[in-house]
Structure 1
């Protein structure tokens, strides 16, 4: 999850989208979207481990600029099509 901080700068949105597009092209991004209340968003990635997921999202421009606080949860998919 990426929750906006008081330091949020809208200029980071496009670099963030490019980052997500790169993850998609690498086959690492499953889903992404923003919260309707404008507080942030979430994305689901494929990673080998929790540590690998944290390393991957640490490159996100919203994190690097301090615009959002990222929280990574390990999620086990139990039902999918």
Structure 2
């Protein structure tokens, strides 16, 4: 299983407000399926971040493109495979 950090930079603040509830329901559905492990907004209003789990970047990108924020032009997206570190060895 791989992890992907998906940045959702703000494109349209009004659309972001209008589609927020749909976006959060979309994320909750994926969280229930154990596809999303965390998400949150940036406090400076620049957008947000979602951490997805998946086998391939194509699989995750397909899901990202179903996000109401992305579909409706409220947010863009930038996706990077992320190597999560859970503990450190010294």
Q: Is this a same-fold pair by TM over 0.5? A: yes
Cα RMSD after superposing both structures: 1.3
Measured against aligned partners, the alpha-carbon deviations of 1:4-44 in whole angstroms (never above 9, x if no partner) come to 11464111100000011001011101110000101100010
1:3 and 2:4 aligned: no
Instruction: Report how many residues are paired.
Output: 80
Aligned counterparts of 2:51 and 2:26: Cα–Cα separation in 1: 13
Give the TM-score normalised by structure 1.
Answer: 0.91
Q: Secondary structure at the match of 2:80?
A: coil
More strand by share: 2
Flag as ranges the 4+ runs of structure 1 deviating above 4 A. none
Higher relative contact order (CA 8 A, sep 6+): 2
State TM-score, norm by structure 2: 0.83
Unaligned runs of 5+ in 2: 1-6
**Change in 2 beyond 3 A, CA 1:29/1:44:** same
Return the index of the structure with the highest Cα Rg: 2
Checking the alignment, whether the CA contact within 8 Å between 1:8 and 1:68 is kept in structure 2 is: no
